[in-house]
Structure 1
Amino acid sequence: MRALLFSFSWRELKHHPWRNAAAVAAVMLGVALAFSVQLINASALSEFSQAVRAVNGQPDLELRAVQGGFDESLYQRMAADPRVALASPVLEVSTYAVTQTAAGKTERLPLRIMGVDVLAVGSMAPALMPVPASNADRFALFAPGTVFLNPAAQQLFGGSSLRLQSGLELRGVSVAGTVGAGGGPLAVMDIAAAQDLFGKGGQLSRIDVRLKPGTETQGFIASLQLPPGITATAPGDAAERVSRLSRAYRVNLTVLALVALFTGAFLVFSVLSLSVAKRAQQFALLGVLGLTGRERLRLVLAESVLLGLAGSLLGIALGTALAALALRLLGGDLGGGYFSGVAPSLQWNGAAALTYGALGVLAAAVGGWWPGGGGPQQPPPPPPQGRGGPPGRRPGARGGGAPAAQTPPPPKTPPGGGARGGAGKGHWLSVALAAAGGLLALVPPLFGIPLAAYVSVGLLLVGGITALPWLIALLYDRLSPHVAHHLLPLLAVERARRVRESAAVAVSGVVASLSLAVALTVMVASFRESVTRWLDVVLPADLYVRTALGSSASDTAYFSPEFVEALGRLPGVARVGAARTVQLLLDPARPAVTLIARPLDDPASALPLVGRLLPVPPGHIGIYVSEPMVDLYGARPGTVFRPLSQSLGVTVAGTAAPPFYVAGVWRDYARQFGAIAMARADFESLSGDRRANDLALWLDGSAGDAQVQQSVRALAERQSGAGALLELASVSELRATSLRIFDRSFAVTYWLQAVAIAIGLFGVAASFSAQVLARRKEFGLLAHLGLTRRQILAVVAGEGAAWTLIGALAGLTLGLAVSTVLVYVVNPQSFHWTMDLMAPWLRLGLLCAAVVLAGTLTAWLAGRAAAGKDAVLAVKEDW
């Protein structure tokens, strides 16, 4: 019997390659997307970790500046402390190197500069030890204006000299050798030369300390009595911090990729439903030979597992290729900004491959469980009996030759009540699942990941799909009286009413895929509209000027106060708004937050506030925090934010700075890790720093945008000869660029929506094919009763429209419910910012209409073959 069953399954898989290939492709796609995301992130994390360990070395303790640098006199204390075996001073600077492209165009590329004590760094961080070139001077290690490049920087800057940006000036340096540190582009130079080059005399960024044996670290830290603005921590692996921060981003990408597996399970379900329907008589014969229901289930599950296994193996191979291609073309950054500058090599993981392969097989097995008989059992098909049949029946009666999926005559039921009896239990189960999903959406995140929200989405989808029979009865019980006098619509509606379980099975794939497509459409549209409104508030000026491409280089690429004043006197410029951005390391376990000092005469109009604006108490300095600051640092409105006072460590006229009062919360889609806005006048009085990083220009209309931009570059050229270092853009250009980046970031989401819809429609096609195949004799009977082939096809198309209409309505409703969870729960818990729910009704309506139209056309095409001459001949078999 086992050999017979194996031959039976193998013959079915072998003789229908295209149909089975679709199911294999769906599983392959889901596995490939999820596995590629895993490989890319794991490879990037590993490379990042190795680079950090090479650059930071292995000290016992790190003293770091919270903002900018600190006085190097602290290094003298560390070096003279008897408990310290070795102290290594470091000055870290992020700047830009200007190079010439092959086309002769000037290009600025980010470069990290590390000033080190070459006498100490070899023992603390050997990878940072400069290695002079063979033709270099033996004292090049200490020479001013000399740098040593790591492999990434050598690949970008192949010449013997570089020009580095400091303010709006370019400083020339010569390349004298190499260092072995990995990671992004890096240049190492003598610490005194770096201080002179960037105007940071007497300042350090960090001190790496190695303690003598027997010295207790925490006690040593407590005895230091460090001044404000300096943190002392054990050197944790920075890759672990980035891993925790990028975890929510990686999980969201993985869940999005597994959507294909979810819909792929429905495609396997549809394919095997068609396969089982076509083999109904063969299963009946096997039943006569002793095949039990459990053995039949095992047989179909074996076929589904084979499909899942093939799809998983192909998916692992495709995912590996996709990951290798992405790492080569895009590096390790998938759009989240966590691994910028890291160019990792692929690191294949066997455990991850087994995990995602098992998920693919499991999805296929779930898809084959119901068609194999794992759901509510129908009476088994009677065995074939030939023309004689059992005693008491006429020869050739339908009982012997009818397929298992043949629809029995519907029982007599009262008008409007034909579907209530069997759907009540499923109705309450669906309500319970949906209620559980709603309650789980209220659960806070676990380990920074909205795990409960993901389960909530799954329960909502399952609850909605299990409610389909009840929804079909609810809708078509009320529609039936209105089509009672129209034959063709009556046949279509009545079949949907009487075989609501089959209708629910047929449209389940459409509901699953459409609901996910609707949810993603609403989420992306809501995010895009929220970003558009946010841009309207944060970009009020006509023209914007900057020289730093990112906030990390705000201390080296800046505008001087003299340049800002001269800019305000240019023809066509009405006024200038200057902003200063500063990086603050409030918590060593988290990345730096951004302090933005800008004009805030009216915070309500200058910032996209969330909630009401609070008055600042006398004697306090008002600050306005972005939404992540509330979740990550507890900076709630109406409270004093002490970490900022402790971190800045600034004084006014020798007295302690006033406390910082959180007067409002604002949305910031540009900085995920948190930002603090404060009035520029307050910042200057506290720090004495009058430099600027971003300039907003309001024009008076006497000169055009192009003319003003030309004047700005000319001014920079006259003052410092660095007009090419400016980045200028009008407000319309910035808006267009921001939205273009947004659309490119969500391109994979749009593609996954299309894939989900295509899989759902293929499931409908397979289900209708199974239904139509089982009804060939019914169509023949309708032809004998006088219906033309066109009318029969109209009935089938009407059934397709009726079934996919309820699927579209259910999918739309479910999608809106899921999108609510995504917008109000998943997004804030993952990324700590909020958005407004925006439903693009026109797009959603067109999407649902396209699904109904495609389902109707699919049903019509499936019915063409079954309603032909073979249907009439099939009826003759019973005579």
Structure 2
Amino acid sequence: MLRASLKSLLSRKLRLTLAIVAIVLGVSFLSGAFVLSDSLTARFEKLLRSINQNVAVQVMPTEDAADDDPRPLLTQQQVDALAQVPGVAAAQGDITALGVVPFDVRDGKPVTTQGAPQIGGGATGDDPFALVSLADGRWPTAETDVTISRYTAEQAHAAVGDRLKVYLPEVNEAREFTVAGIVVYEGDRDSLAGETLILFQEAFAQRTFYGAEGRFSGAYLSAEPGVTQEELRDRVASLAPAGFEAKTGEQANEDAANEVQEGLSAVTTYFFGPFAIVALLVGIFLIFNTFNILVAQRAQELALFRAMGASWRQVTSSVLVEAVLVGVVGSTLGLLAGIGLGMAGSSALTAFIGAQLPGAGIQVGATPIILAYVVGVLVTVIAAFVPAIRASAVPPLAAMRDIARPDKPLLVLSIVGAALAVPGAALTGAALTGIGGLTLPALLIGVLLFFLGVTLLSPLLTRPLAGLIGRAVGWGTSGKLGVRNALRNPRRTAVTAAALMIGVTLVSTASVLAASFNKTIDETINSTIGAEIVIQTNSTQGPPDGTIGFSSEAVDEVRALPGVDQAVPFYLTVDGRVDDGAPPFGGMFAVDDMAVARDMFAMKAVDGDLGTLGPTEVVTDENTAKSRGWKVGDTFPIELSKGGEQQYTLVGIYEATPIWTDSMILPRAAVSNFKGPLAIQAYVSLDDGADAAAVKTEVERVMSDFPLVTVGDRSSLIDQFTSFTDIALGIISVLLGVAIVIALLGILNTLLLSIYERTRELGMLRAVGLSRGGVTRMVGTESVVMAVFGCVLGIVMGVALGVAIAAALIDRDFLTTIAIPWLSLIIFVLIAVVAGVLAALWPAWRAARLNVLAAIAYE
């Protein structure tokens, strides 16, 4: 039986190749995520080792102390004491700060990076651990000097002797400096990872970053010959001041590399993971259909095995062996494709961020290899299990004569489908209305049950729905024949269409939610915000915790501009704790004057007062108050970055809106306990008749010293909100593309196999006068019917799910309206038509060129 199975498998290489492609796509995304993450991590590890190759021990703040405010610092005396430890060859204090942004010399605009840090530091020129060396000019010797990396010089279009404007985050202002020199990294590299680097005179950097001279954020130590890193660490550990710890250079590098890997793993998993899931899920239907049709074709062969004494177990095993072999081949090719994907991704990402990371070869660990084979083989075996059981049920008598095997009734399948779809819909509905901590699991299980149920019910819908589609596309005799072929086997048509249905369901759901969100934001902002000018901060250099943004002095300057009526700044913290729990998801803000903010945003009081807040008073939205069991007059603790825990009293509850839901507003006094004093947004209303364009120009001038700040109008605020949905929708649309590719393979596979089954029938049709063009149109119509059928089912399911989720979000005040993007849905149908035509090209070409006499005499 094993030899017979292998011979049978080899005789059907072309047909099984299409099933293998589905496995390759899924496994390649899965393994590519791990290869990309491991390869980039290895490159960063090599970079860190080269940076710290002379560092035996690092003295740095502990993990807990690193977030303290004020942060712990080393004094010059403490660094000198560390240098006296036996075994220390040299010691140097570290002076660095993040968010130090240069401005372009040509146009005065801030220089930005693709997520890489923008670093400032202190330099003396005699640092034994210096990562850079002079390429031109000199080191900074005066407070007005800076020395910059070559990459920074290129991005800022600056040269030695130029005046360079630099934003200093610790003092929240920009100042001008003279470029004294240009530095490069070892190996004549312009940068390490696409970062900007600006070095100041050491004393000036210490005063600016740390508030006093002779202060350092940490220290680097090198070891004398014969002293190991562990020995030196143990000697230094006892002298490390409170809030600091000593680590070996290797351990510090490993910890930094682990942080990099965590970030990379999150990005690669969330990016590649959905593609792998969709590809494998869609692939199950393609593989199932392939084995189902192959089993039907081999009915006489398998029955002959049974007649010769093979047991049902042997027949089942023979089909599963074929599945395992297909899975192994697909997994191997998928793993190789994943390695290539990881290599390409590593090169693309480093080029995108402008990094010059050292090469570390391609890294293929055990995890992607194991996952590739386990997932690939498991998916294939699962998909082939039902066809394998069906193969074992072939009666031996079928080997003796050609018997008709009519399609089985759909009653049992429909009952099972309904038994899954109904509770799935009920569970989804219950989850959308909220059932506590079980909401997410219930939603996932409900959607899965509903989807499986509709999939099982889809054969029942094939004749009425696909028949209706056939009336629209089945023109003439050839078209009608194609429609009849699609309706001949409802199960096969439904399973083939299911591959496309998955992708269309996903993107239709996302489209409905995105359209509803965008319309809600547009209506809410235009109807409730009474500001003509909006000042925003792009938080690319850190969390919005008050350390990035613009100062209150700048807001005061905006208020004083001619034509400005009111200006309301908003301060945000992301690390506060409320009532011993997490802060509201929508944010914890502080404002100068709650009464002005209330009027600016047309906020309506549900209970209490929304007037000016006292130092320990707070207001929140009705959803937050309800979920936390608060009412006006209640007192609860709030812990901010500084100042410890304080008691606040709830004095007002405002009506929840998509902008103000799951949020909390504190008084301006609370900002002193935020991590930083900067505002993240401000809304500016103008006097009647004021020239909005002229005022906007003046506001831009005021904010020109703050590099991450942009000035726009209400439309720019709408763009900011909707940009996230646009990005998400773009990614999901690519997922649809993956599903379409696999769906094309599925339709192609079904048509090729059905042509094989209908060889004699096609010969008869040609014999009675059907032209080659007629055969082509017949096969093309059959393909289009299957594709559009899957697309329509996906649209119906996706819109239903999207509307249900949107309705639940309306109940939670995250949305105010439901919008259905009809144009996008029509485009999906047109894409399905094109996909159907493309899938039919090869099968139609083969069918049209069958030898008429050989086809009539077939079997």
Same fold (TM over 0.5): yes
Q: Which amino acid aligns with 1:698?
A: S
CA distance in 1, matches of 2:675, 2:279: 56
CA contact (8 A) 2:788 2:832 kept: yes
Which deviations, in whole Å up to 9, do the C-alpha atoms of 1:20-72 show, x marking residues without a partner? 55433333322233333334445566777899998994547367486864798
Which deviations, in whole Å up to 9, do the C-alpha atoms of 1:806-842 show, x marking residues without a partner? 75565345435665798799x99xxx99667846262
The 1:746–1:421 alpha-carbon spacing in structure 2 relative to 1, beyond 3 Å, is: closer
CA contact (8 A) 2:420 2:453 kept: yes
* Aligned residue number for residue 642 of structure 2: 648
CA distance in 2, matches of 1:89, 1:665: 48
Q: How does 1:798-813 map to 2 (within 5 A)?
A: 807=790, 810-813=793-796
CA distance in 1, matches of 2:450, 2:793: 12
Instruction: Give the drift of 1:96.
Output: 0.8
Q: Which amino acid aligns with 1:519?
A: T
Which deviations, in whole Å up to 9, do the C-alpha atoms of 1:340-372 show, x marking residues without a partner? 999797762322321442223433343334444
CA distance in 2, matches of 1:759, 1:564: 55
Instruction: Give the drift of 1:750.
Output: 0.7
Instruction: Give the drift of 1:169.
Output: 3.2
CA contact (8 A) 1:513 1:759 kept: no
* Aligned residue number for residue 223 of structure 2: none
* Aligned residue number for residue 698 of structure 1: 685
Check if 1:194 corresponds to 2:192: no
The 1:783–1:187 alpha-carbon spacing in structure 2 relative to 1, beyond 3 Å, is: closer
CA contact (8 A) 2:282 2:739 kept: yes
Say which of 332, 336, 348 aligns to 2:363. Answer: 348
Instruction: Give the drift of 1:301.
Output: 4.1
Instruction: Give the drift of 1:755.
Output: 2.7
Q: How does 1:105-120 map to 2 (within 5 A)?
A: 107-109=110-112, 112-113=118-119
Pick which of 238-247 and 453-462 moved more. Answer: 238-247
* Aligned residue number for residue 826 of structure 2: 846
SS at match of 1:642: strand
CA distance in 2, matches of 1:49, 1:641: 46
Check if 1:256 corresponds to 2:271: no
CA distance in 2, matches of 1:29, 1:609: 51
CA distance in 2, matches of 1:245, 1:538: 38
Q: Which amino acid aligns with 1:767?
A: T
SS at match of 1:601: helix
Check if 1:10 corresponds to 2:10: yes
* Aligned residue number for residue 428 of structure 1: 419
CA contact (8 A) 1:49 1:239 kept: yes
CA contact (8 A) 1:41 1:332 kept: no
CA distance in 2, matches of 1:844, 1:270: 29
Say which of 708, 724, 743 aligns to 1:760. Answer: 743
Instruction: Give the drift of 1:197.
Output: 4.2
Check if 1:95 corresponds to 2:86: no
CA contact (8 A) 2:60 2:217 kept: no
CA contact (8 A) 2:531 2:685 kept: yes
Check if 1:32 corresponds to 2:50: no
The 1:736–1:755 alpha-carbon spacing in structure 2 relative to 1, beyond 3 Å, is: same
Q: Which amino acid aligns with 1:731?
A: R
Say which of 403, 406, 417 aligns to 1:408. Answer: 406
Which deviations, in whole Å up to 9, do the C-alpha atoms of 1:532-586 show, x marking residues without a partner? 5676589753334568765749978766666545544545544444445567576
Q: Which amino acid aligns with 2:648?
A: P
CA distance in 2, matches of 1:707, 1:98: 24
The 1:583–1:10 alpha-carbon spacing in structure 2 relative to 1, beyond 3 Å, is: closer
CA distance in 2, matches of 1:703, 1:844: 40
Q: Which amino acid aligns with 1:164?
A: V
Q: How does 1:779-790 map to 2 (within 5 A)?
A: none
CA contact (8 A) 1:629 1:635 kept: yes
SS at match of 1:467: helix
Check if 1:521 corresponds to 2:511: yes
CA distance in 2, matches of 1:34, 1:193: 50
CA contact (8 A) 1:800 1:856 kept: yes
The 1:63–1:371 alpha-carbon spacing in structure 2 relative to 1, beyond 3 Å, is: closer
CA contact (8 A) 1:24 1:310 kept: yes
Instruction: Give the drift of 1:94.
Output: 2.0
The 1:344–1:216 alpha-carbon spacing in structure 2 relative to 1, beyond 3 Å, is: same
Q: Which amino acid aligns with 1:97?
A: P
Q: How does 1:155-234 map to 2 (within 5 A)?
A: 163-166=165-168, 167-172=172-177, 174-175=180-181, 184-187=195-198, 192-197=203-208, 200=211
Instruction: Give the drift of 1:622.
Output: 1.5
The 1:808–1:566 alpha-carbon spacing in structure 2 relative to 1, beyond 3 Å, is: closer
CA contact (8 A) 1:273 1:767 kept: no
Instruction: Give the drift of 1:753.
Output: 0.9
Q: Which amino acid aligns with 1:270?
A: N
CA contact (8 A) 2:605 2:653 kept: yes
The 1:273–1:344 alpha-carbon spacing in structure 2 relative to 1, beyond 3 Å, is: farther
Check if 1:728 corresponds to 2:718: no
* Aligned residue number for residue 62 of structure 2: 61
CA contact (8 A) 1:508 1:807 kept: yes
* Aligned residue number for residue 461 of structure 1: 451
SS at match of 2:11: helix
Say which of 742, 747, 761 aligns to 2:730. Answer: 747
* Aligned residue number for residue 383 of structure 2: 367
SS at match of 1:541: coil
The 1:461–1:348 alpha-carbon spacing in structure 2 relative to 1, beyond 3 Å, is: farther
The 1:303–1:643 alpha-carbon spacing in structure 2 relative to 1, beyond 3 Å, is: same
CA distance in 2, matches of 1:687, 1:451: 35
Percent identity for Structure 1 against Structure 2? 19
The 1:871–1:561 alpha-carbon spacing in structure 2 relative to 1, beyond 3 Å, is: same
Aligned length: 793
SS at match of 1:749: helix
Q: Which amino acid aligns with 1:269?
A: F
Q: Which amino acid aligns with 1:515?
A: T
SS at match of 1:622: strand
The 1:714–1:755 alpha-carbon spacing in structure 2 relative to 1, beyond 3 Å, is: closer
Check if 1:601 corresponds to 2:612: no
Instruction: Give the drift of 1:263.
Output: 0.9
Instruction: Give the drift of 1:262.
Output: 1.3
CA contact (8 A) 1:145 1:172 kept: yes
The 1:319–1:661 alpha-carbon spacing in structure 2 relative to 1, beyond 3 Å, is: farther
Which deviations, in whole Å up to 9, do the C-alpha atoms of 1:128-152 show, x marking residues without a partner? x677759998xx6996456677897
CA distance in 2, matches of 1:98, 1:626: 44
CA contact (8 A) 2:72 2:217 kept: no
Q: Structure 2 unaligned runs (5+)?
A: 86-90, 221-232, 244-251, 470-476
Q: How does 1:336-735 map to 2 (within 5 A)?
A: 348-358=363-373, 359-373=375-389, 377-379=393-395, 382-383=398-399, 399-400=401-402, 406-408=404-406, 419-420=410-411, 423-424=414-415, 427-428=418-419, 454=444, 457-469=447-459, 500-529=490-519, 532=522, 536=526, 540-545=530-535, 552=542, 564-580=555-571, 596-597=590-591, 599-601=593-595, 615=609, 620-622=616-618, 624=620, 642-644=637-639, 647-649=641-643, 659=648, 661=650, 677-680=665-668, 682=669, 694-700=681-687, 702=689, 704-712=691-699, 727-733=710-716, 735=718
The 1:490–1:376 alpha-carbon spacing in structure 2 relative to 1, beyond 3 Å, is: farther
* Aligned residue number for residue 249 of structure 2: none
CA distance in 2, matches of 1:767, 1:189: 69
Pick which of 765-774 and 530-539 moved more. Answer: 530-539
Q: Which amino acid aligns with 1:748?
A: I
CA distance in 1, matches of 2:75, 2:819: 59
CA distance in 1, matches of 2:757, 2:38: 50
Q: Which amino acid aligns with 1:263?
A: V
CA distance in 2, matches of 1:242, 1:635: 40
The 1:350–1:723 alpha-carbon spacing in structure 2 relative to 1, beyond 3 Å, is: closer
CA contact (8 A) 1:91 1:206 kept: yes
CA contact (8 A) 2:95 2:122 kept: yes
Q: Which amino acid aligns with 1:256?
A: P
